[in-house]
Amino acid sequence: MSRIAVIGAGAWGTALANTYAANGHQIALWTIETDHAEEMRAERSNRRYLPDFPLEAGLVIAHEFADACRDAELVLIATPVAGLRPTLKRVAAEFPALPALWVCKGFEAGTGKLPHEVAAEFLAPAVGRGALTGPSFAQEVAAGLPCAITLASADIEFARYWAGQLMHPRLRLYANDDIVGAEIGGAVKNVLAIAAGISDGLGFGFNARAALLTRGLAEIARLSAALGGRRDTLMGLAGMGDLILTATGDLSRNRRVGLALAEGKQLPQILKELGHVAEGVLTTETVVKRATELGVDMPITWAVQEVLCGRLNPRDAVEQLMTREARLES
């Protein structure tokens, strides 16, 4: 069994921490807020982000960063993309030899970097690192329902080792050395889940959703190839699997954003009511920017960006997609 520091006590971080604590690992779950830590210790639950799931007796709740990471064999970073840079900077400064995994999905705002590109700024080349990604809702993992995900790292031996360490009967991990493809799949599927929510919210039916997801997957594959990722990765859990789940599952925050946009709600109101981060909203602009720079055609992603910015209403965005000139399927 391993000693693991989980940084970030949101829904996903808590679900993973509790799952691994139940499986015999020594887990410290860190939250930046003192009152949040005290609340979780007192109630033995994370009422804010993952209610109704009691915390394991052996799960340590930490507020001091050093207390969480001291003696750990791995740091599992479960912050949003915006929190990855400061967390990696702190890990590198205080625990420079500590291997890292992250579960956030998206591009960093401002720099346009993927998570592994951010990690390269702080972690020494010899330090193992990778992304834990794929079709996974925190609530279902916390409930002990079966789930399969990908652990992607440029270092395949690191990926294989930690996939073996972190796998148990209800949470299966597959190792993959295509971290670019895995991270592109995890980032862009959130954008396409917003599109699927819009389509479903407008009542366009299952045919439209199937077409949207198929053509959306083609967009993901084109961007991934332009950045050095492999097409076969997008046919697996980190691509197709994550896209299907996020675009069709009712627990998906990004899908719920699309449904609300179809109702005519304004984005600030939607995000306030959501109460959690919907990474697709933050990622769309960067995806469009990088695709444009690389000359990659991503019409669905572009349409989502136009809706989020208020330049197109949802129905007009769909009409523009449907009336594009005929072309070969590719």
In 87-191, DSSP assigns E strands to 100-102, 129-133, 147-152, 171-176
Which position has the higher pLDDT, 327 or 184? 184
Select from 129, 39, 11 the least CA-distant residue to 75.
Answer: 129
Q: Mean pLDDT for the chain?
A: 95
Q: Which amino acid is at 195?
A: A
Q: Where are the beta strands (DSSP E) in 164-203?
A: 171-176
pLDDT at 279: 85
Mean pLDDT for the stretch of residues 313-329: 81
pLDDT in tens, 105-129: 999 989 999 999 999 999 999 999 9
Determine whether 89 is an active site residue. no
Structural domains in the chain? 3-177 (3.40.50.720), 185-322 (1.10.1040.10)
Which residues are 148's β-sheet partners?
A: 172
For the chain, give the percent of residues with pLDDT over 90: 91
Query: What is the arithmetic mean of pLDDT over 54-62?
Result: 97
Could you say which of 89, 105, 189, 265 is catalytic? 189
Q: Report, as an integer, the average pLDDT of 45-54.
A: 96
- Indicate the helix (H) or strand (E) that contains 317: helix 314-322
Q: pTM of the full predicted structure?
A: 0.94
pLDDT surpassing 80 at residue 137: yes
Q: Nearest Cα to 182, choosing from 259, 234, 111, 123?
A: 234
The sign one gets for the Cα dihedral 214, 220, 221, 223 is: positive
pLDDT at 74: 98
